[in-house]
Chain A
Amino acid sequence: MSMIIAALAVWIVGIGINIWIARQKPGRWQSIVSATVFGITLVIIWELVVRGTGISPVILPPPSMIAVAFARSTDILAADFVQTFMKGVLTGYAMGCGAAFLTALAIDRSDFLKRGLLPIGNFVAALPIIGMAPILVMWFGFDWQSKAAVVVIMIYFPVLVNTVQGLDAADKMQKDLMYTYAADYWQSLLKLRLPAAAPFIFNGLKIASTLALIGAIVAEFFGSPIVGMGFRISTGAGRLELDLVWAEIVVAAIAGSAFYGIVALIERKATFWHPSQRK
């Protein structure tokens, strides 16, 4: 009971701190500090509530238990990470983006193909493609190859659609200027259309980074050698080893945000000139 009261107190203090921060002169530090305060408050409350109400740690482990599980299973977690992320996600990401990019260039020269493929691409991007995971495991086997395949089909259409849109982004006046220089297709592509397409392409790459990790993990629910993040989560859940499952989720969360963050960083370098990066 005292823990519950403590949790309430922490909550109120946290809110108080954040209200105080909000009252200060606006600055960039406010978001980072407030968000951190919020996160820490949440974790503390979680710990106190679980311990205070006596919820079975099998159902909902407190953060301290998760931290312990994390520390003692780093080798398992590392192996899972290598299997799922390094092998499944990265391979699939490279192949999927590469294929989408090449397709976009190929259909760039044909207005007919563009008009035919874009609506279909937008349509497919909205479908529950992840449902194909069991089928792909059937075709490509249990190991990381089927996971890479799932990643490919999940990211192919979003990246394709964004790249095609990007290649169309250079405005008419810019294209006219290239025409007055009697530039050929490749000169125009490399000097104008690709740089102009960069913001769109990176938008697609960021979306793809999130989809890739989801795809690889969920695909492992359907068959995996005894290693992998998705494998650990689904079997761990089945065995009610939830502290390990949560530790794995923490790894997944870090992997997901780090992957996205790296792509965003590269985006900032490559599209330094775009208004959205200059604010």
Chain B
Amino acid sequence: MKMMRNFVPVLTVTLVIFALWYAFAIVLNKNWAYDKATRGGYELSFTELVADTWTQKKPLLPTPDQVAVEIWASTGTAAISKWTRAEGRSISYKLSKVFGDKKSLIRHAWITLSATLMGFVFGTGLGILLAVGIVHNKAMDNSVMPWVITSQTIPILALAPMIIVVLNAIGISGLVPKAIISAYLSFFPVVVGMVKGLRSPDSMQLDQMRTWFASKSQVFWKLRLPSSVPYLFTSLKIGVAASLVGAIVGELTISQDGGLGARMLQGNYYGTTILIWAALIFAAAMAAILVSSVGLVERITKKRMGFVG
């Protein structure tokens, strides 16, 4: 499998990236270390410099291990402590304590994930419906499709603060505004991809359907929809990643409702850089898991349907 062939090169490149990360940590954090030394009136040897730059409390660039420790502290240890402290209570109570812990990355991740998934599902659903409409109705194709294509060049994410603020002002806060941004961001790739996919059957196949006097609905369910599956999945992968970005940027605007973006904003405000990185890496991990989950469903579906590769 292609994955095995690439294992050694990918591993090498990854290790090199980590090595560079540690090296850059020295470079970026050294000024702070030198300042401290000058104020304290002592000199720093190279090994002392390295040791210092890799263990600062508010480094400009935390090291991978610092970030990993912080992640574990805000997820594993936090969860365990809340779980054990609720000794003797029901499972649901314990879970509520774990997820209710304001400092826990698990809670924030869950908040971000809920907004992402809600937006993603809505955006995809509406996108598919619109795509079906565009493919079957020339008037819609003419009038709406150009806007869909153009909107991909417009920085929709720039609307995020406005959407959040406006909805908050009329009392809608929390999950919904973020979900709306996420839905908006996943909507467009899905429409474009589905339209392409629904139109992908070649003229030979469509002619074949005509010889059988198939109705438009039959052509849709038996030919167009199955043919669109590979295109749909490609768009879903883009869409889920875009939804996550939308939720996070929404949280970066207003942090009061929690979420990974909110955590990053807090870290930014208080200068606790390790926190920012922890939340960011966690978000990246979540993105990777979401995209690969879609990829997994894609592989299984494609296999079942006989699509090769």
Direct contact of A and B (CB under 8 A): yes
- Footprint of B on A, CB under 8 Å? 15, 18-19, 21-23, 30-35, 37-39, 58-60, 112-120, 123, 126-128, 130-135, 137-139, 209-210, 213-214, 217-218, 221-222, 229-230, 233-234, 236-238, 240, 242, 245-246, 249, 252-253, 256-257, 259-261
Q: Taking the complex as formed, is B63 at the interface, i.e. its CB lies under 8 A from any CB of chain A?
A: no
Chain B CB within 10 A, most for which of A115, A137, A210: A115
The answer to whether A115 touches B6, judged by C-beta atoms less than 8 angstroms apart, is yes
Partner of A31, one of B60, B146, B156: B146
Contacts of B248 in A (CB 8 A): 128, 130-131
Chain B CB within 10 A, most for which of A133, A139, A233: A233
> Within the complex, what minimum Cβ distance (angstroms) separates B309 from chain A?
16
Contact with A along B161-201 (1 / 0, CB 8 A): 11011100110000000000000000000000000000000
Contacts of B276 in A (CB 8 A): 134-135
Going nearest first, the 7 A-B pairs with the smallest beta carbon separation are A116-B9, A34-B142, A116-B13, A38-B143, A22-B138, A260-B153, A35-B146
Partner of A257, one of B144, B154, B166, B287: B154
- Bound state CA distance, A119 and B8, in angstroms? 12
The answer to whether B155 touches A217, judged by C-beta atoms less than 8 angstroms apart, is yes
Partner of A130, one of B60, B144, B245: B245
> Within the complex, what minimum Cβ distance (angstroms) separates A58 from chain B?
8
Q: Taking the complex as formed, is B296 at the interface, i.e. its CB lies under 8 A from any CB of chain A?
A: no
The answer to whether B153 touches A113, judged by C-beta atoms less than 8 angstroms apart, is no
Q: Taking the complex as formed, is B241 at the interface, i.e. its CB lies under 8 A from any CB of chain A?
A: yes
Chain A CB within 10 A, most for which of B143, B164, B253, B265: B143
Q: Is the interface of A mostly helix, strand, loop or mixed?
A: helix
- From known contacts A32-B146, A138-B268, A237-B162, infer whether A256 and B155 are also in contact, taking CB-CB under 8 Å: yes
Partner of B166, one of A15, A60, A119, A214: A60
The answer to whether A135 touches B5, judged by C-beta atoms less than 8 angstroms apart, is no
- Bound state CA distance, A39 and B237, in angstroms? 30
- Bound state CA distance, A112 and B159, in angstroms? 42
Contacts of B137 in A (CB 8 A): 22
- Bound state CA distance, A134 and B159, in angstroms? 18
- From known contacts A210-B152, A257-B154, infer whether A35 and B166 are also in contact, taking CB-CB under 8 Å: no
Q: Taking the complex as formed, is B132 at the interface, i.e. its CB lies under 8 A from any CB of chain A?
A: no
The answer to whether A249 touches B9, judged by C-beta atoms less than 8 angstroms apart, is no
Chain A CB within 10 A, most for which of B138, B267, B288: B138
- The contact size tier of chain B is 35 or more
Q: Which residues of chain B from 253 to 295 have a CB within 8 Å of any chain A CB?
A: 253, 260-261, 264-265, 267-268, 273, 276-277, 279-280, 283-284, 287-288, 291
Contacts of B161 in A (CB 8 A): 221, 233-234, 237-238
- Footprint of A on B, CB under 8 Å? 5-6, 8-14, 17, 28, 60, 137-147, 150, 152-162, 164-166, 169-170, 237, 241, 244-245, 248-249, 252-253, 260-261, 264-265, 267-268, 273, 276-277, 279-280, 283-284, 287-288, 291
Q: A113-B13, A252-B158 are in contact. List 9 more A-B contacts (CB 8 A).
A: A18-B140, A23-B138, A34-B142, A35-B146, A126-B288, A127-B288, A222-B252, A237-B165, A237-B253
- Bound state CA distance, A120 and B13, in angstroms? 8
- Bound state CA distance, A261 and B152, in angstroms? 12
- From known contacts A132-B280, A134-B265, A134-B268, infer whether A245 and B155 are also in contact, taking CB-CB under 8 Å: no
> Within the complex, what minimum Cβ distance (angstroms) separates B90 from chain A?
36
> Within the complex, what minimum Cβ distance (angstroms) separates B138 from chain A?
4
Contacts of A135 in B (CB 8 A): 273, 276-277, 280
- Bound state CA distance, A19 and B137, in angstroms? 9
The answer to whether B253 touches A131, judged by C-beta atoms less than 8 angstroms apart, is no
Contacts of B264 in A (CB 8 A): 131, 134
> Within the complex, what minimum Cβ distance (angstroms) separates B252 from chain A?
6
Contacts of B287 in A (CB 8 A): 126-128
* A239, closest chain B residue (CB): B165
The answer to whether A130 touches B249, judged by C-beta atoms less than 8 angstroms apart, is yes
- Bound state CA distance, A123 and B6, in angstroms? 14
Contacts of B158 in A (CB 8 A): 214, 217-218, 229-230, 233, 249, 252
- Could you list 17 A-B pairs, sorted by A, with CB under 8 Å? A18-B143, A21-B142, A22-B137, A22-B142, A31-B145, A116-B11, A116-B14, A131-B261, A134-B267, A217-B157, A218-B157, A218-B160, A230-B158, A234-B253, A237-B161, A245-B162, A249-B162
